Amino acid sequence: MSSTARIHGVNKPIPAPIEHYENFPVASWLCPPRLRPPIAAIYHFARTADDLADEGESSADQRLDDLAAYRADLLATAQGLPASGRWPQVFGPLATQLQAFALPVPLLDDLLDAFAQDVRKTRDAEGYADRAELLDYCRRSANPVGRLLLHLYGVEDAAALRQSDAICSALQLINFWQDLSRDVPRGRHYLNDADCAVHGVTRAEIEALRPTPALLALLAEQVRWARELMREGAQLVHRVPGRAGWELRLVVQGGLRILDRIEALDHNSLQHRPTVRAADAPRLLWRALWM
């Protein structure tokens, strides 16, 4: 599933938007020890839900049923009631951290809503009508992760939340444009209909994965959009305290580096999947230092 609500990357030295939930390092050495348990609980909650939506051979309807059961366990846990017992490794630790840190349950619920939407969209071969609809998906699939982390750090003013949303939505978009060669063959369409129409690009052309001039121009526009969003939120790195602020700098720079690599391919991520590599570490650290 192409979602930037990605928070894997445990102990990864250079965060990068590569696999689902890997845009946000979890419980790494930069994280204050007292926050490692709640961040790990959020990670396992999101990772397990993502697997329900995306892994294995289950039908779309079965995935939706499992996500509904998972949501029922979330709501029960939030109310101090027993969960079903299907996912004790998730809801046992989560119950403790919900109480200890007053984690906002609606943000966790938004993630599940986004996962279910992805399943339905893929099942029904639906795309997104325009940027507003795609950003609404990002609002639920990616932005909750940033807001949950800010909650843990006690940074909750309106400006910081807007900047966090911009970073998270940018990371989600970056993941979309990075993963076209994977997502399109799997029936996932994130290039919105309105932008496609402006460039005269059809669904059939996208599914052929051929880098036509019109399609490459469309992708160039999407890359610019993601870069602009990231820049809108980048000042947040100065608001997040301590080592976490430095980790956020690396997250931002990792996302921007993926965009650099897409541009270096003349925007042909239809046939190539750019990634951040170990050799990029000095560049990312230097850029992070000068943010």
- Domains in the chain (CATH in brackets) are 33-289 (1.10.600.10)
Query: What is the number of other CB atoms lying within 10 angstroms of the CB of residue 108?
Result: 24
Query: What is the number of other CB atoms lying within 10 angstroms of the CB of residue 172?
Result: 30
- Is residue 192 within 8 A of residue 130, CB to CB? The reply is yes
The three state secondary structure string of 8-35 is CCCCCCCCCCCCCCCCCCCCCCCCCHHH
Q: What is the pLDDT of residues 20-52, one digit of tens each?
A: 444 444 445 567 889 999 999 999 999 999 999
Q: What is the pLDDT of residues 155-209, one digit of tens each?
A: 999 999 999 999 999 999 999 999 999 999 999 999 999 999 999 999 999 999 9
Burial of 139 (0-12, 13-18, 19+ CB in 10 A): middle
Q: Indicate the average pLDDT of the chain.
A: 89
- Is residue 48 within 8 A of residue 27, CB to CB? The reply is no
Distance CA 53, CA 196 (A): 27
pTM for this one?
A: 0.88
Q: What residues have CB less than 8 Å from 79, skipping those under 6 apart?
A: none
Q: What is the pLDDT of residues 194-241, one digit of tens each?
A: 999 999 999 999 999 999 999 999 999 999 999 999 999 999 998 888
pLDDT band at 18 (very low <50, low <70, confident <90, very high): very low
Report residue 166 as tokens: 């911009």
Provide, rounded to the nearest whole percent, the portion of the chain with pLDDT above 70: 90
- Is residue 170 within 8 A of residue 23, CB to CB? The reply is no
